[in-house]
Structure 1
C-alpha cells in the first residue's frame, strides 16, 4: 500500500516519540550512550537532571536492564503513577506530611512487590525463611495505621453470686424400706465485666522510619551479595512541598543501607530537594547525600561540540530505524549511519540543520525529523523541510504550552523584540544573579530558551559573570530572510552569511557582547500603568 512517503521517511514517522512506548528490550537496543550510562552504573546515589525529552527515562530504563543482566535487583518507579488523588491534588485539605506518607506507602508497596517478584525467580530466596520473614516485616511496617481523634471508653462490671445448701438424711435399715440418710450441698458464683471502646476521628498512616529502615536492612542482608537499585523517575511530578519529605525518607531509611543504591531522574528547575520544616532542614542535601553531576541538558548542545552532537543524533536515529524493526518496515540499503544521511537527506548540511534544530533534545530531534519527513514525502529531506518542521513543532508543542503562562509568553516576545529584532542576535547574556528568575526558568523548562554556556565574562564588565542563552531554533526560523533576521549568535557577530542559503547563526564569543537581557526593564515594561 502506498503511503506517499519514501521508505526512510515512513520509517522516521514510525519511531516512538516517548520511551514509555517501547518495550524494555527495545529500549536497551535503541539506547545510544552520550556518556551518561557509565556514570549511572556507579553505585553512588545520584540525581540525573534533564528537561523533558532529553532522555532521562530512556537512560534509567537502560540502566535497569543492565543491572538485571548483571544479577542485581532493579526497581524502576515512575512517580507519576504512584500516589492517590488526595495526596497529589488536595494540598489545601491534606497536610504535606500525610500526603508524603501516602506516597511513601505506595512506593514501598511497589518495592515490596518487586522483591516478591525477584524471589519468585530465585529458588534460594523463595525458600529462605529469613528473607520471607523480613518481607513480612516490611509489609507490616508500611501498613500501620492510627486513628486521630477522640476516644470514648465505657466500663461495665457485673458480679453475680449464688449459694445453696440442702441436706437430706436418710438411712436404710435392714428390713425397713423407705428410710434413707444423705447430704447434698451446692454453691455457684458468676462474674462478668464488659469494656467498650469507641474511637472517632480520621484514620492515618503511621509510618515508623526505624521499623522501615530495619526491615530494608534485614532484607538487604538476607540477599547476600545482590544490590538493590531503586530508580525513581519523574521526581518533579511530585508536589513541590512533598518532595523534601520524600527525600528525608530516602536519606533516613534507604541510603544508609549499604546494599541499596538510589538514582533520581528530575527536572532541575522543578525540583525541591530540601526545605525548612519547624526550624530545621529536611530532605536531600545535594553534594552530600546525593551527587548531582549529570545533566542531560549539557550533553548534546550543538554549539558546544558540533561534531559530537552530529555523531550522537545520527547514531540515535540509525538505532531507532534498525533495532527491533519488523522486516516489512526495514529500509533498503540502510546498513550504516552514513547511509541514513545519504538516503534520507539531500545533503549533509540538511542533517546538520536537523541537529541544530533539536537544540540537544532527542525527543525534539525525533519529532522534527518526522515532520520534515512528512513534508518531504517521497523526496529526501532538504534544509527548507527541516526549518518548516522546526517552526511547526515549536508552535504546536512549545509555544502552545506557554499559553497557560501569560507572563512567560510576554517575556518570550520581549526577548524576540529586544534581542532578535533590535540587536539582530540569536543569543543573549543573562547575569547569573538573575539566573533563578521564575519566568526565565519557565521558558527554559518549555525548551523555548536554551542555556549553552555558563560563567561567561564580558570584557567591558570585569567581575560580572553571565550565562549565554539562545532562543529556540523554531522561534526565530520564520525571521530568516527578513530584516529582523539574526546576524549572529550575539550582538556584534558581523560575519556575513553565505551567498546562497542564509544561515542560522552559530556560537561566536570573540567580540564584546551587548545583548544583555535586562529583566528589570521587562518588569517595568510589563507593569500596568
Structure 2
C-alpha cells in the first residue's frame, strides 16, 4: 500500500479527470448544463352563496446536468501516473510478470501486446511473459504488437532440463528439487545430506532412492517438468513399497508403472477429448511404440507448425527435444527430435488387442540421438493422417496431397508441394 501525501495527491488529480472501475478506465467528457423552466397552475373552487374561484400560478427553474463518458486509455496520463508512482515509493525498476499468456485468444494477443508496449515501454518497467511458443502471437503483419528481438527478447525454458542434452544440469536440478520437497516433511531426517560449505544438497542424494537405470528413466520421462517428476516419483515410491522387495532402490519397473499411472490421472482425459489429436496419437503409437519399440523419433522440420502435433505438445504427450538434426537416409533435410510419453498407449484403440504386458520392458529410451536417425515420421504419414481427417485432397499439378491446414493453402490457395494454384 502506498502512503504519503505525494502519492495521494497525484492519484487524486488523476481521478478528477478519469474513473477506474477495476476493469475499465473512463474519462469524463464535456459537461452540459440545461435550464428548463417549468410552469404550473393551481386552481380552487369555493361553492357557497357567493361562489368564488381563486387561482395561482408559479414558475420554477430546474437545472439538469448531463455528462458523456468516453471509454479509452490515455497512455500519456498512465505514463505520468506511473512516473509519480515510482517517485513516491522510491524504486528504480518494477518487474511486471504475466503468466498463462497463451490462454488469451490468439487473435487478441497482438493487440494486448501493443497496449503493453505503449503503456510501459518508456518507463523503468521490465515485462516478463510466460507463454507457449506455438500458441503465442505477439505481432501482426502490420507490426502491431511486440517485436521479438526488437521490443522483447525470447528465451526458451523448455530445453533447459533435457536429460538427453544436459544430463548433469538436469540431474542437479531435480536432485535439489527432491531434497527441498522431502525436507519440508522432515528437515532433520535429511539434514545429513546437505553440504553446508556448498549451500546445496549432496549430488548423490537422489541416488539414495533410485538405481542408476531408474534415475535415467525418470529424468527422461518427466521431460524437464517438475510437476511430472514429483508425481512419477511419488507413484514409483508407492509401487516400490508395495512390492515388499529386498531391493534398496526403486527400479526401472517402478518408474515405468508410475509413469503410466500418472498419465491416466493427468493426461488421458484431455487426450481423449481431442478427437483429431487422438487419431494422430494412435498412428504414432503404432509406428513408433509398437513397430519400432522406441519413444524417441524424428519429424521433418517443415511439419513443426502442424496444428495437431502442437496440440499433443501442449498436452505434454509429445515433447520437442532438439531441433535441426540430420537423417541418415534423407540428407539435406533438417529434422526435429521428439519424445513420446510411452504411457499414452493406454489411450490407443489398439491397446487391448495388440499391446501385451511386456511392452513396457521392450520400449527403449535413448540419451544419444544418433541411435534414432532412422526412426522418423515422413510425408507419407502426414498425407495419410490428413486424408483420414479430411484435411487434404490430391493436387492436379503434382499429384501430391494438398494439406488444407498448411499456411500456403490457407493464405493463397496454392499447393504446399509444387506451389501451383489449386481450387
TM-score calculated relative to the size of structure 2: 0.71
| Residue 443 of structure 1: aligned partner | 312
Q: Which residue of 2 aligns with 1:456?
A: 325
**Residue 366 (str. 1) matches residue 247 (str. 2):** no
Report the CA distance between 1:275 and its aligned residue: 3.2
Aligned to 1:285: 147
Q: Does 1:133 align with 2:32?
A: no
Match of 1:269 in 2: 134
- Partner of residue 26 from structure 2, selected from 129, 140, 145: 145
- Contact 2:117 / 2:145 at 8 angstroms: preserved in 1? yes
1:377 and 2:245 correspond: no
Going from structure 1 to structure 2, the CA distance change for 1:314 and 1:287 (only over 3 Å counts) comes to: same
CA displacement 1:451-483 (0-9 Å, x = unmatched): 111112335434422211121143369778349
| CA distance, structure 2, for counterparts of residue 199 and residue 470 of structure 1 | 62
Q: Counterparts in 2 of 1:275-354, with a 5 A limit? A: 275=140, 280-292=142-154, 294-322=155-183, 324-325=184-185, 330-331=189-190, 334-335=193-194, 336-337=201-202, 340-345=205-210, 347-354=211-218
Report the Cα offset of residue 510 of structure 1: 5.9
1:523 matched to 2:386: yes
> How far off is 1:137 after superposition?
4.9
2:279 aligned with 1:410, yes or no? yes
Contact 1:456 1:466 (C-alpha < 8 Å) held by counterparts = yes
Cα distance, 1:426–1:507 mapped onto 2, change above 3 Å: farther
Q: 1:392 aligns with which of 258, 261, 266?
A: 261
Contact 2:232 2:259 in 1 (8 A): yes
How many Å separate the matches in 1 of 2:207 and 2:322?
A: 32
Q: Quick one: distance in 2 between partners of 1:244 and 1:228? A: 23
Cα displacement (A) at 1:154: 6.7
* 5+ long unaligned stretches in structure 1: 1-116, 120-125, 160-189, 487-502
TM-score by length of 1: 0.58
- Where do 1:170-181 residues align within 5 Å? none
Q: How does 1:482-521 map to 2 (within 5 A)?
A: 482=359, 485-486=362-363, 503-509=364-370, 512-513=373-374, 515-517=376-378, 518-521=381-384
- Cα deviations by residue, 1:249-282 (Å, 9 ceiling, x for unpaired): 210011211x211111222233232236xxx442
Q: Do structure 1's residue 156 and structure 2's residue 36 form an aligned pair? A: yes
> Which secondary structure state, in structure 2, belongs to the residue aligned with residue 261 of structure 1?
strand
CA distance in 2, matches of 1:352, 1:337: 18
The question of whether the paired residues in 2 share the 8 Å contact of 1:297 and 1:360 is answered with yes
Q: How much is the aligned-residue C-alpha RMSD, in angstroms?
A: 3.7
**Mapping for residues 146-225 of structure 1, pairs under 5 Å:** 156-157=36-37, 193-196=61-64, 205-224=71-90
TM-aligned CA deviation for residue 448 of structure 1: 0.4
- Sort the Cα spacing of 1:353 and 1:423 in 2 relative to 1 into closer, same or farther, 3 A: closer
Q: Which residue of 1 aligns with 2:358?
A: 481
1:467 aligns with 2:336: yes
> Which residue of structure 2 lines up, in the alignment, with residue 260 of structure 1?
125
What's the CA shift for 1:300?
Answer: 0.7
